[in-house]
C-alpha cells in the first residue's frame, strides 16, 4: 500500500500535475492540504474517473484539506474535534477517515505567523487539540497515522540555515514541544533521515531561488503508531514533483506499507 501527503497550494492550480502524479505513482491514499477551494469546487469527479473517492473539508480560498483514496473511505470526520477557532471561525484544517486497513488524518497545522501573534497562540492551542483528538486512535491496534503540513521543523537540521530563522516561527521551543507531545501519544516519525540525500526537505519558498539553491525546510511529516510504523517498508520525498513550471512549493512525501 502506498500512502502520501502533499500540500498542493491550490488543487485547482495543481490539478493536471496531481492527476498525472497519482497515475504515475500508483498511490492508494493521498492526504491533501491547502486545497484553497470550497467543497463544491473540489475536483471529486475528475478523481473519481481515476478510481478515487474523496473526503473534503474546505470552505473557500484559504486552507482546506482532503483525503483521496482508491481503497475505501469510511467513518469520515471533518474538522478537529475540540479544536480552537480563530477570529470566531473553525477553519478547515483536519479530516480523518478509515481507508482500507488504516486510519488516517490529513492535517494542515496553522502557520503561526509571528511569535507573539494571536495566530501563534492559536497554533499551539490547535496542536494541543490535535494531541487530545488522536490519543485513542494512536493507542489502538489499527495502523494509524497523522500526515500533513505541520508547519514545524522538528530539528535544527530540518531547515537549510537555522540562523535565518532566529526569532521566527516553525523552530521555536514551544512549537517543537507541541510536536513532541504529539509523538508522546505513541506516534513516531516514519520518514527517517537521511533518505536518498542528506537533507530531505519538503518545502522550498518560491522566492529567491529557494528550490534550486536547496533552501528548504522539512515540515511535511508522517507520524504513525506502532502498527503503522512496523509496516513501513520504504519512504521518500518526491523532489521531482517540486521541479518545473506550475509546481507547488511543497513536495509529496510518500510511504510504502506492507500490510
pLDDT in tens, 14-60: 999 999 999 999 999 999 999 999 999 999 999 999 999 999 999 98
Residue 223 · residue 190 · CB < 8 Å: yes
Alpha carbon distance 111, 120 (integer Å): 7
| Catalytic pick among 108, 120, 201, 223 | 108
Cis omega before residue 44 (within 30°)? no
| Structural domain for 175, as ranges | 2-257
The residue-averaged pLDDT of 179-187 equals 98
Farthest CA pair distance, the chain? 47
Q: Does residue 110 sit in helix, strand or coil?
A: coil
111 is annotated as contributing to ligand binding: no
Q: Is 214 annotated as a binding residue?
A: no
250 is catalytic: yes
C-alpha span between 53 and 31 (Å, rounded):
12
Q: Which residues fall within 8 angstroms of residue 13, CB to CB, at 6 or more apart?
A: 36, 246
- Cβ contact 96:77 at 8 Å: yes
Contact 131, 88 (CB under 8 A): no
Determine whether 108 is an active site residue.
yes
Given the residues 28, 137, 149, 220, the one annotated as active site: 149
Q: What is the pLDDT of residue 241?
A: 97
What mean pLDDT comes out for the span 155-165?
A: 93
pTM: 0.96
Local confidence band at 193 (pLDDT 50, 70, 90 cut-offs): low
Mean per-residue pLDDT, 208-237: 96
CATH number of the domain at 105, please. Answer: 3.60.10.10
Given this model, what pLDDT does residue 20 score? Answer: 98
| Rounded (5°) CA angle 63-180-168 | 60
Q: Using DSSP bridges, classify how beta strands 188-189 and 102-108 pair: parallel, antiparallel or unpaired.
A: unpaired
- How many folded domains does the chain comprise? 1
State the residue for C-alpha cell 493536471.
16
Per-residue pLDDT at 61: 82
Q: Is the pLDDT of residue 159 over 80?
A: yes
Q: Which of 188-192, 208-212, 253-257 has the highest mean pLDDT?
A: 253-257
Q: For position 200, what pLDDT does the model report?
A: 82
Q: What's residue 199's pLDDT? A: 64
Distance CA 161, CA 79 (A): 34
| pLDDT surpasses 80 at 198 | no
User: Would the annotation count 151 as a binding residue?
Assistant: yes
User: Contact 17/241 with Cβ under 8 angstroms?
Assistant: yes
Is residue 197 among the annotated active site residues? no
pLDDT (tens digit per residue) in 167-176: 999 999 999 9
Q: Is 23 annotated as a binding residue?
A: no
Q: Is the pLDDT of residue 195 over 80?
A: no
Under the banding of pLDDT at 50, 70 and 90, the label for residue 106 is very high
Amino acid at each position: 500500500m502506498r500512502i502520501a501527503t502533499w500540500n498542493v497550494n491550490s488543487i485547482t492550480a495543481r490539478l493536471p500535475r496531481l492527476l498525472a502524479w497519482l497515475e504515475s505513482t500508483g498511490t492508494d491514499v493521498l492526504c491533501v492540504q491547502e486545497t484553497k477551494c470550497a467543497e463544491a469546487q473540489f475536483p471529486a469527479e475528475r478523481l473519481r474517473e481515476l478510481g478515487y473517492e474523496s473526503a473534503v473539508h474546505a470552505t473557500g480560498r484559504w486552507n482546506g484539506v482532503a483525503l483521496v483514496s482508491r481503497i475505501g473511505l469510511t467513518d469520515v470526520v471533518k474538522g478537529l474535534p475540540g479544536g480552537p477557532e480563530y477570529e470566531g471561525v473553525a477553519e478547515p484544517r483536519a479530516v480523518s477517515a478509515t481507508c482500507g486497513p488504516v486510519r488516517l488524518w490529513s492535517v494542515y497545522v496553522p502557520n503561526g505567523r509571528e511569535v507573539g501573534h494571536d495566530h501563534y497562540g492559536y497554533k499551539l492551542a490547535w496542536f494541543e487539540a490535535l494531541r487530545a483528538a488522536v490519543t485513542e486512535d494512536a493507542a489502538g491496534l489499527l495502523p494509524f497515522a497523522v500526515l500533513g503540513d505541520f508547519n514545524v521543523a522538528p530539528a535544527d537540521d530540518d531547515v537549510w540555515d537555522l540562523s535565518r530563522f532566529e526569532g521566527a516561527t516553525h523552530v521555536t521551543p514551544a512549537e517543537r514541544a507541541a510536536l513532541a507531545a504529539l509523538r508522546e501519544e505513541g506516534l513516531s516519525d516514519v520518514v527517517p533521515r537521511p533518505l536518498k540525500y542528506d537533507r530531505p526537505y519538503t518545502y522550498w519558498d518560491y522566492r529567491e531561488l529557494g528550490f534550486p539553491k536547496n533552501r528548504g525546510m522539512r515540515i511535511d511529516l508522517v507520524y504513525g503508531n506502532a502498527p503503522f510504523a512496523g509496516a513501513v517498508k520504504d519512504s521518500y520525498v518526491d523532489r521531482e514533483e517540486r521541479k518545473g513550471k506550475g509546481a507547488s512549493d511543497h513536495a509529496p512525501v510518500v510511504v510504502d506499507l506492507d500490510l
